[in-house]
């Protein structure tokens, strides 16, 4: 029963976010699908990234007391996406109100596309320019 309440709370937050987008953007409900799905993609990628990062770091080889840097290949082997710091959801959430959130989100998407050729041109980017900085926050 507690799990059902948790799901209902998540659903309530999602509907609240949809209402905020509907009220504070020029998008119709069918138009903000891509920006929302892009943010969900970033959040999911970040969860997978964090879920395997510690395990990967524990197995990295060391040479001369220095650990080899993480690579996208390390994450691909664990069915996760390597995220540069600017593409990590935690970084995006921590942006101050004065920051251009749309620019940061677009930069995160471009960073991922630069590392993963199969995602080039697929991730939403231009949609974020239409949303207010406060709404993106």
Place 118 in a pLDDT band, splitting at 50, 70 and 90: very high
The predicted model scores a pTM of 0.81
Domain CATH number, residue 118: 1.20.1260.30
Note whether residue 13 is domain-resident: no
The pLDDT of residue 4 is above 70:
no
Note whether residue 7 is domain-resident: no
Q: Which residue has the higher pLDDT, 120 or 10?
A: 120
3-state secondary structure 3-66: HHHHHHHHHHHHHHHHHHHHHHCCCCCCCCHHHHHHHHHHHHHHHHHHHHHHHHHHHCCEECCE
The reported pLDDT for the residue numbered 90 is: 94
Cα(first)–Cα(last) distance of the chain, in Å?
A: 32
Note whether residue 9 is domain-resident: no
Measured between alpha carbons, how far is 113 from 130 in angstroms, rounded to an integer? 21
Question: Domain residues for 130?
Answer: 31-136
Note whether residue 8 is domain-resident: no
Note whether residue 1 is domain-resident: no
Q: Do 96 and 102 touch, CB atoms closer than 8 A?
A: no
The reported pLDDT for the residue numbered 1 is: 56
In total, how many domains does the chain have?
1
Please write the tens of the pLDDT for every residue from 66-84: 999 999 999 998 999 999 9
Note whether residue 18 is domain-resident: no
Place 14 in a pLDDT band, splitting at 50, 70 and 90: confident
Q: What angle do CA 117, 33, 114 make, to 5 degrees?
A: 15
Note whether residue 17 is domain-resident: no
Residues 101-111, mean pLDDT to the nearest whole number: 96
The most confident of the ranges 5-19, 26-40, 42-56, 118-132 is 42-56
């Amino acid at each position: 029963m507690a799990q059902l309440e948790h799901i209902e709370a998540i659903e309530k937050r999602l509907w609240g976010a949809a209402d905020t987008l509907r009220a504070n953007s020029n998008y119709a409900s069918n138009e903000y699908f891509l920006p929302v799905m892009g943010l969900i993609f970033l959040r999911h990628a970040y969860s997978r990234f964090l879920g395997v990062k510690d395990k990967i770091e524990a197995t990295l080889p060391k040479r001369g007391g220095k650990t080899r840097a993480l690579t996208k290949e390390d994450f691909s082997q664990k069915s996760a996406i390597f995220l540069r710091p600017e593409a990590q959801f935690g970084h995006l959430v921590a942006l101050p109100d004065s920051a251009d959130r749309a620019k940061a989100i677009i930069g995160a998407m471009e960073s991922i596309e630069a590392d993963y050729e199969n995602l080039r041109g697929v991730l939403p980017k231009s949609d974020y320019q239409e949303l207010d900085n406060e709404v993106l926050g």
